[in-house]
Chain A
Amino acid sequence: DVKVTQSSRYLVKRTGEKVFLECVQDMDHENMFWYRQDPGLGLRLIYFSYDVKMKEKGDIPEGYSVSREKKERFSLILESASTNQTSMYLCASDTGVGSYNEQFFGPGTRLTVL
């Protein structure tokens, strides 16, 4: 089974802190994604990566950056956390090849910024 893991289930940070959210997948997937999930807004794409060291902005990249130094790992970085970044963050991956493109999701990190 594909497994996508995220470094923390719950995280509490202070305004202005630098925050790292880590995601690891174990199925040699090409593509990896970071979403934030908010009630009434669904899932919104922050960034995605289709190869090591490659990244593309999603729909809401402001205030975030990403890093993908290894194929299996995709990090989301909040350079200076703000209260409006309190949210659930979901990581996902897919094969990037073929026509199926099912995305596999991690369990999520609920981030609270005080």
Chain B
Amino acid sequence: AQTVTQSQPEMSVQEAETVTLSCTYDTSENNYYLFWYKQPPSRQMILVIRQEAYKQQNATENRFSVNFQKAAKSFSLKISDSQLGDTAMYFCAFMKRNFGNEKLTFGTGTRLTIIP
């Protein structure tokens, strides 16, 4: 079974600063995906970024980037030039790579507050 650990229950940062959210996971699988999902105060969860484990290059999406360390089983999310709209719960998640019928395993989340 897979486990996902987010050790920072809450974080806060000043607007325009950079913040890094931590995530570690445990698995015996070699092929898998990792995700960061964002849940703003309105509650609709959306995908922020994903990483395929077989790709060495770290994924980036505009101001969001990851630091994927496969050997260390670490998958942190960096938010650059943080904005008030980044205030949300952030969940790290793991999925085995399969033929489509796999499920996500989520971490416990990090509540991020961007301070004006």
Contact with B along A99-114 (1 / 0, CB 8 A): 1111101111000000
Chain A interface mostly: loop
In the complex, which residues 6-62 of chain A have their Cβ closer than 8 Å to any Cβ of chain B?
A: 30-31, 33, 35, 40-45, 48, 50, 58
Query: Shortest CB–CB separation between residue A2 and chain B, in angstroms?
Result: 11
Query: Shortest CB–CB separation between residue A76 and chain B, in angstroms?
Result: 16
Flag whether A90 is at the interface (Cβ < 8 A).
Answer: yes
- State whether A101 touches B102 (Cβ < 8 A): yes
How distant is the Cα of A98 from the Cα of B47 in the complex, in angstroms?
17
In the complex, which residues 71-116 of chain B have their Cβ closer than 8 Å to any Cβ of chain A?
A: 91, 95, 97, 99-104, 106-109
Query: Shortest CB–CB separation between residue A103 and chain B, in angstroms?
Result: 6
* B interface list, Cβ under 8 A from A: 6, 9, 33, 35, 42-47, 50, 52, 91, 95, 97, 99-104, 106-109
* A interface list, Cβ under 8 A from B: 30-31, 33, 35, 40-45, 48, 50, 58, 88, 90, 92, 95-103, 105-108
